[in-house]
């Protein structure tokens, strides 16, 4: 089980990296939006490419941050229902949801989005807007985001199984609840 927990920690670190990248993308989208608005108002100059770049950045941030949201246990679920059950029952419910719902959906999205991205890449698909951008970079974010979500789902399943076997104190710890000890080992408060 310790090997799988190391795998889970590695996936979590990978997810945190992309979550931090998503924060920078939000900042870039915000700054681009502000500059675009100022230039448009002050100099009466606009660009469809700037507008599209904003939503490309936002889409990338959203898709890259989805795995971190799952990692931090802040994803959407019916908390009013699940909170009535014991932690073991909650872990079982999460595990069933991950294995039978989330992972198949991620695989399905990957199955359909990879050819979608590839076709846009090969054809050099451009936005139909005047001065618009190429489309494949934003299409690429779909399989990348769902691959990250799939990996994080595997990590969460590992943690639920470890908890059910008694090898992990709680799989429901949010990243903000974690501390790092001087030796670099993460643990729960």
β-sheet bridge partners, residue 179? 187
**Structural domain boundaries of the chain?**
2-171
CA distance 83 to 87: 8
Each residue of 134-143: pLDDT tens digit? 999 999 999 9
93 class by beta-carbon count within 10 Å (0-12 exposed, 13-18 middle, 19+ buried): middle
**Cβ contacts of 47-53, under 8 Å, gap ≥ 24:** 47/131, 48/127, 48/129, 48/130, 48/131, 48/132, 49/131, 49/132, 49/133, 52/127, 52/129, 52/132, 52/133, 53/133
pTM: 0.85
Residue 181: its pLDDT value, please?
44
CA distance 138 to 85: 40
β-sheet bridge partners, residue 180? 186
Contact assessment for residue 138 and residue 127, using Cβ atoms and an 8 Å cutoff: no
Residue 46: its pLDDT value, please?
81
CA distance 11 to 25: 21
Total Cβ atoms within 10 A of residue 15: 25
pLDDT tens digits in sequence order for the chain, 189 residues long: 899 999 999 999 999 999 999 999 999 999 999 999 999 999 988 888 989 999 999 999 999 999 999 999 887 776 777 778 899 999 999 999 999 999 999 999 999 999 999 999 999 999 988 888 999 999 999 999 999 999 999 999 999 999 999 998 888 766 555 544 444 555 443
53 class by beta-carbon count within 10 Å (0-12 exposed, 13-18 middle, 19+ buried): buried
Contact assessment for residue 152 and residue 10, using Cβ atoms and an 8 Å cutoff: no
């Amino acid at each position: 089980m310790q090997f799988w927990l190391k795998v889970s920690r590695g996936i979590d670190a990978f997810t945190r990296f992309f979550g931090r990248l998503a924060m920078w993308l939000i900042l870039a989208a915000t700054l681009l939006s502000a500059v675009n608005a100022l230039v448009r108002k002050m100099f009466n100059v606009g660009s469809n490419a700037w507008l599209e770049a904003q939503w490309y950045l936002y889409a990338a941030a959203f898709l890259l941050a989805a795995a971190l949201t799952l990692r931090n246990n802040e994803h959407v679920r019916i908390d009013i229902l699940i909170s009535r059950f014991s932690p073991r029952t909650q872990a079982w419910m999460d595990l069933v949801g991950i294995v039978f719902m989330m992972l198949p959906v991620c695989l399905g999205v990957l199955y359909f989005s990879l050819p979608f991205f590839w076709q846009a890449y090969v054809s050099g698909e451009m936005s139909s807007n005047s001065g618009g951008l190429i489309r494949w970079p934003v299409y690429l974010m779909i399989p990348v985001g769902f691959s990250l979500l799939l990996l994080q789902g595997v990590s969460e399943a590992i943690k639920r199984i470890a908890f059910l076997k008694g090898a992990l104190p709680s799989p429901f710890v949010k990243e903000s609840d974690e501390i790092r000890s001087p030796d670099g080992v993460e643990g729960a408060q």
